[in-house]
Structure formats: structure tokens, C-alpha cells
Structure 1
Amino acid sequence: MKIDEAVNIINSTTTVRAKVDDGVMYVHEKLNSDDDWFMRVSLYHLGWSAITADFDTCLDDDVDVMDLARVMDVIQRLLDTPVKERFPEKKYVLSAMRCAEGPFAIKQYVDAININTNNVEFHFGLANETANAMEFTQEDLDSLSDFFPKAAIDAMKEEVKDNG
């Protein structure tokens, strides 16, 4: 289970909320401030030793028992996920400044790669449009180094923001 998925499930409950800050997930009552967490989960550790709980002080009767059960289920599923798989994998697009409209350079994004026995070529989409741009993982980009210099790929790559 990915961290953002766990937060979304917990935040879909009516009486409990979760947030992530600096590698730690804080779980608190919906109506209490973020500082009044009743459970803190270190996202870089395995097992229940990653959990710090303060049920006596910060957990009121206002928390629905079904919401609390859901939180415990989500936390267990998160702890069962290897640490590396909890974090969303970064995605990238490739872009280049091209003289496609007369003497003016415009930014275009790669929307296809054609590979055949004789050559490899990028196909660029419309100017400044990322909607149809191909997305790559770092592993995908590393495999392109069989065809293109790594420095060229690194110069073209841009991280896709707001990955889900």
C-alpha cells in the first residue's frame, strides 16, 4: 500500500484524519488539532515498532469504533508493504526547445518514441502541451541510455508534479 493511499482511506472516515510530515504519518481525531495525534507511524520502518501511540491522552470517545478499526487495518496493510513500495515512484517527461515555428524556439514534449533496426527517434507533440506526453520512470530513462547519451536524457527530463 502506498502512503498517499493509506492517508486517503483514513481521511475518508468521519471521525479520524491522517497527515504526513517529514516521513511520519500522524493520525488524530477529526475535530482535534494536528498536534493532538493519538498514533504516529514512522514510514521508513517496518513492524509495529514503527508506531508510537498516545491513546490515553488524545483519543476521545468521539472516535467511531469502526473508524478506529479501519485505521488499524490500514496501518497493518501499510506495515506489511515493503518500505520502498510505500512511496510513489517518480515519473518524468522529456522535453526539448525546438525551432518548430520559424525562428522562435518552443518547448515541446515527447509523446512517442519510434525504435526500429536503423534508428531511434523522438516524436514531439504540440507546443507547451503535456497532456499527451509520455511518462517515464527513472528505470525507463536509464534504459534509453542504450540509444542516447545519459547526459542528453538528463537534460531533457522534467519531473511530473502531483503524481498520484
Structure 2
Amino acid sequence: MKIKEALNFINATTTVRAKVDDGVMYINEKLNSDDDWFMRVSLYQSGWSAITADFDTCLDDDVDVMDLARVMDVVQRLICTPVNERFPEKKYLLVIKRENPFCPKYVSNIITELNGIGFDLSIDEKEARIFSEEELNQIKGREPSLAPSIDAMKEPVEDKDNED
């Protein structure tokens, strides 16, 4: 489970909310201040040892039992997810900057052939292929001579759905 997905599940409840700050997910009642968390989950650790809970002082009877059950389910699914899979994968466009900086070309496809490798280019950013970090590392592993060029062409894709 990705962190953003966990936040969405918890924040869809009626009496509980969650937020992430500095690698930690804080879970508290919707009516309480942000400092009154009843559960804190480290996003860089696995297992229930990554969780600090303070049910006695920070959890009121106002929290719906089903909301609390959902929180426990989401936390369980989150800690069962390997740490590296919790975070969104970085995505990139490959952009060829030319002499005229106002007219970049975007890589829309990479073609591998027996005698080499080729790039399909487009002037339209909408036609550009979005590459994951893993895909680019595979290409650089197969074609080490391209690694400096790929690193120079990489531009991060801003994906609003992939935050946290």
C-alpha cells in the first residue's frame, strides 16, 4: 500500500484523520488538534515496532469503532508493504535540449535494434513517454554508454496523484 493510498482511506472516515510529516504518519481524531495523535507510524520501518500508540490520553469515545477498525486495517496493510514500495516511484521525461531552448524535443519511444538504439522524438510534450526510474536504470544497464546522456535528459514529471 502506498502512503497516499493509506492517507486517503483514513481521511475518508468520519471521525479520524491522518497526515504525514517528516517520514511519520500521525493519526488523530478529526475534532482534536494535530498534536493530539493517538497513533504514530514511522514510514521507514516495518512491523508493529514502527508504531507508537497513545490510546489512553488521546482517544475519546467520539471515535467511531468502524473508523478505528479501518485505521488498524490500513496500518496493518501499510506495514506489510515493503518500505521501498510505500513511496511513489519517480517518473521522468527524457528531453533533448537544443540550441533553441524554447523548442525542446521529447523522447516518445526508444527503439533497440541489433546494431544500436534509436529514439523517436516529438515536439509535443503530450506525446512524450514517461519513464520510471527502474526503466531508465535498465536502459542504462543494457547501454552503459547512454547513461550520461540519459542522466542529462531526465526531467522529473510532476504527478499530483503520486505525492507522498
- 1:1-164 superposed matches below 5 A: 1-98=1-98, 106-127=103-124, 129=125, 131-145=126-140, 146-147=142-143, 148-162=145-159, 164=162
Q: Which moved more, 1:4-13 or 1:108-117?
A: 108-117
TM-score, length-normalised on structure 1? Answer: 0.87
- What SS does the corresponding residue of 1:149 show, helix, strand or coil? helix
Instruction: Give me the whole-angstrom Cα distance separating, in 1, the residues matched to 2:95 and 2:101.
Output: 16
Instruction: Give me the whole-angstrom Cα distance separating, in 2, the residues matched to 1:105 and 1:48.
Output: 52
Q: Could you tell me which amino acid in structure 2 is paired with residue 158 of structure 1?
A: E
Instruction: Give me the whole-angstrom Cα distance separating, in 2, the residues matched to 1:104 and 1:61.
Output: 60
Q: Which structure is higher in helix share?
A: 2
**Residue-by-residue CA offset, 1:62-99 (whole Å, 9 max, x unaligned):** 21111010000000111111112111211111001236
* CA spacing shift, 1:104–1:5, aligned 2, 3 Å: closer
**Residue-by-residue CA offset, 1:92-134 (whole Å, 9 max, x unaligned):** 11001236xxx7751222111222234422122234x2x3321
Percent identity, aligned pairs only, is 63
- What SS does the corresponding residue of 1:98 show, helix, strand or coil? coil
Unpaired runs of at least 5, structure 2: none
- What SS does the corresponding residue of 2:103 show, helix, strand or coil? strand
- What SS does the corresponding residue of 1:25 show, helix, strand or coil? strand
Q: Provide the alpha-carbon RMSD of the alignment.
A: 1.8
TM-score, length-normalised on structure 2? Answer: 0.87
* CA spacing shift, 1:105–1:4, aligned 2, 3 Å: closer
Displacement of 1:32: 1.7
